[in-house]
Structure 1
Amino acid sequence: MPAHTNVMPLPEGAPATLREAFAHIGTVTAPTVLDIKIMALTEAAATTLYYKTAETAENPEVRALLERNGREEFLHAQRAALAVKAVSGEDFFPPLAEDNPYLQDGAGPIAPITKEALTGLAQGEFGGDALYQKWAENVGNEEAARLFLLNGKEETDHGNRLLQAAALLD
């Protein structure tokens, strides 16, 4: 099978790996256009991470909750791309999994489906809400702030769904 050739290049100055990108985003309080692009790429990658995790779920209710979070992660990527446009005027489009530079080495790490792991992921999603709120406060663009606040609210929804999924494992 030929190698996929439409992989989006990483934006100049972006972290090289998904793990580094997640770590970078967690340190940003006043996002630049580059930071918002990195967020779009990581949110798009999170779609795949959720779907791959859902594939391992034995409980169909847990699978459905994870898949719903995955669908919304791509919506977050799309909103981040719209924020790039609002802040800079530049068109930026979040890539599908096969074109995402952060997924070229596979879609790992995939979280195990345990009560503890899902609870830990939930805390990360709640932290995402706080991060988006901070970005909204500091981005200096009303439309980008509005988009970030929408994403943040849904990060809390994701955390709550993960807690719901964890409770189903009792």
Structure 2
Amino acid sequence: MTLRGLIGSNKRRAIFIILLYFIFAVTGSLDQYFFQFAVNGLSVGNLSVYIRWQLIEFIPVVCGVFILPLATYLFNAQIQEYLDQLRGQMVDHFYTENDATVGQMQNYLQSNLDTLTSDFALPWVNVLSNLFIILLSAGVLFSLNWSFVLLTAIFVLIDLSLPKIIARRYMTVRFC
């Protein structure tokens, strides 16, 4: 299984899936962006401004609620189409080589295709969608103030290193 093969099994659908995941990330970023205006309205004591921005913020949230399941469904269809192509190639190989029993072929097809789905295809969609979300969230933070991006990066580094620090701390403590 290759990424090129996964995309190439149906190029139009693959492009549409990427576009849907990008739009999903945009809806999340718009939600974050509009929320600042709602909080600003609330901080000055203007409830009508807060409610108006909350209603405006509701639109991208609802769009995101519908876009993510559609993108996930289409991605699963893309995976299944590609797996059907791979399954056909494997079956052709087994019948031409005639070097395995039916049970071995069945186990090989099932275990390999399950592994390809869970260990290869699904991580790609997670990487893609999270990359879009990170980039657009950084853009929202930049629109507020550049120091927020720096502060967020520092917090991410602390968050990633904290388990290692805690593990070292507890490994050096001796219990009596």
State the TM-score, normalized to the length of structure 2.
0.36
Q: Which has the higher helix share?
A: 2
Computing the radius of gyration from Cα coordinates, the structure with the larger value is: 2
TM-score, normalising length from structure 1? 0.37
